[in-house]
Amino acid sequence: MTSAVVVAEPVRCVECGICSYNCPMGIDVRSKARQGLPVANGYCLTCGECVARCPRGTLRFETSDVFGFVFTPEGE
Ligand code: SF4
Ligand code: SF4
């Protein structure tokens, strides 16, 4: 069983806050992005709004298993 989680490339983040502003669940995506942490929030709908709205291409979805491990493609 797998699920998607939003992950960030922190060096690209300019802390504009557009991701957080557009999150329908009010999740502080900016804070996670800046720290390079996955948005491991139970309220995340994986709607993709934050990923789509980020002007810097900082955010993307990754697949994780039910235990929360994030698999990063080799070479990244
Ligand atoms: S929209 Fe992108 S650049 Fe702006 S705070 Fe969020 S992750 Fe960072
Ligand atoms: S995928 Fe949707 S619900 Fe999850 S953090 Fe991004 S905007 Fe918020």
- Give tens-digit pLDDT for 11-66: 999 999 999 999 999 999 999 999 999 999 899 999 999 999 999 999 999 986 65
Instruction: Kindly list the structural domains of the chain, giving each domain's residue range(s) and its CATH number in brackets, ordered by start.
Output: 2-64 (3.30.70.20)
Give the pLDDT score at 70. 56
Tokens 């504009």 belong to which residue?
16
Give the pLDDT score at 50. 98
CA of 66 relative to ligand 1 center, distance in Å: 27
Give the pLDDT score at 43. 95
d(CA 68, CA 76): 19
CA of 45 relative to ligand 1 center, distance in Å: 18
CA of 75 relative to ligand 1 center, distance in Å: 24
Q: Which of 56, 59, 60 to mutate to test the pocket of ligand 1 (most atoms within 8 A of CB)?
A: 56
Phi and psi at 5, nearest 5°, equal -135, 145
Give the pLDDT score at 3. 79
Give the pLDDT score at 63. 85
